[in-house]
Structure 1
Amino acid sequence: MHTFKALALFWLIALPGIVNAQDGYVCPSNGSELQQLRIYEINRSNKDTFHKRFQDHALRIMKRHGFKILDIWESDSGEKVEFIYLLAWPDKSTMDLRWRKFFSDKEWIDIKKRTAAESGELVREANGQPLTRVSYSPACAKR
């Protein structure tokens, strides 16, 4: 009986995120309804300092605030260097709340002040945009 209840509970929770019955597509679930693409234009002259700060401090503090980072990239077009990462969130309100907590985290504020004083501006511009997968994405399969 417990196995049946557990299986039924799994399908009640997982199925809505996996199947879009309206149009017959089945999408893989990554445990998140919302992803967020973050793109920072970083200064070429101190990109190593940026990477060190992100790796040694930002990742740790983000983890403490419940961030789920899926992947991280760097893009160098010759004209500019961009730092790009993808996050997964259960919903927009959680995303907004956790970003507010991260940006008001005293340790993060102190680290940013210290690195700016030592190395100058690390990030020229930062943009984030929430992404919601459409049912006809190549990541989804037609039933």
Structure 2
Amino acid sequence: MRIFTALAFLALAAMPGATNAQDGRYVCSSNGNEIQQLRIYEINRSNKDAFHRRFQDHALRIMKRHGFKIIDMWESDTGEKIEFVYLLTWPDQATMDSRWSEFLADQEWIDIKKQTAAESGELVREANGQPLVRVSYSPACSAR
């Protein structure tokens, strides 16, 4: 997990920004509200390929339709578990929340999940997402 946190922050360091104070929080982003979101899925080893096919062939396309902007993706295999990790960027928290609601309610996505579960079983053991807001003292802010 630590490796993905480090990777995520390396990816974030490449993103543009400007320092702003907002509600007592110090952030460094292009509009003061921009956030990134780190998503981590623990996937089943036995149907890892089915997970990647579903994500590549279907989830990415449907996410794009709902305005998702994925920065990068990784896989980690520690021997104990396999995790799929990706990083998104959003203009603000409200947009992130509404787009996720739209995506999860998308009938095509619902049907695809049902179909792949019937064919391959459970693809994701656990899914977690956390918003990330750059702090003003990030090296990415002072690199300008």
Instruction: Tell me which interval the TM-score lies in, with the shorter structure as reference length.
Output: 0.7 to 0.9
Residue 78 of structure 1: SS of its match in structure 2? coil
Structure 1: tracts of 5 or more residues without a match: 1-16, 22-26
Matched, 1:119 2:117: no
Cα distance in 1 for partners of 2:103, 2:83 equals 21
Q: What do residues 85-142 of structure 1 show as CA deviations (whole Å, max 9, x unaligned)?
A: 0000000000000000000000000000000000000000000000000011121217
Cα distance in 1 for partners of 2:95, 2:19 equals 23
Q: How does 1:30-109 map to 2 (within 5 A)?
A: 33-109=34-110
Cα distance in 2 for partners of 1:72, 1:125 equals 17
Counterpart in 1 of 2:18?
18
Cα distance in 2 for partners of 1:94, 1:37 equals 15
Cα distance in 2 for partners of 1:48, 1:33 equals 33
Number of aligned positions between the proteins: 124
Go from structure 1 to structure 2 and tell me whether the alpha carbon gap of 1:43 and 1:139 turns closer, same or farther (over 3 Å shift): same
4+ residue segments displaced more than 6 Å: none
Cα distance in 1 for partners of 2:31, 2:38 equals 15
TM-score (norm 1): 0.79
Counterpart in 1 of 2:142?
141
Structure 2: tracts of 5 or more residues without a match: 1-16, 22-27
Cα distance in 2 for partners of 1:44, 1:113 equals 19
Q: CA deviation at 1:20?
A: 4.0
Go from structure 1 to structure 2 and tell me whether the alpha carbon gap of 1:58 and 1:137 turns closer, same or farther (over 3 Å shift): same
Cα distance in 1 for partners of 2:98, 2:29 equals 26
1:18 maps to a residue whose letter is: A
Contact 2:19/2:141 (8 A) holds in 1: no
TM-score (norm 2): 0.79
Contact 1:32/1:88 (8 A) holds in 2: no
Computing the radius of gyration over CA atoms, which structure comes out larger, 1 or 2? 1
Q: CA deviation at 1:19?
A: 3.5
CA RMSD of aligned residues (A): 2.4
Give the percent of matched residue pairs that are identical in Structure 1 and Structure 2. Answer: 80
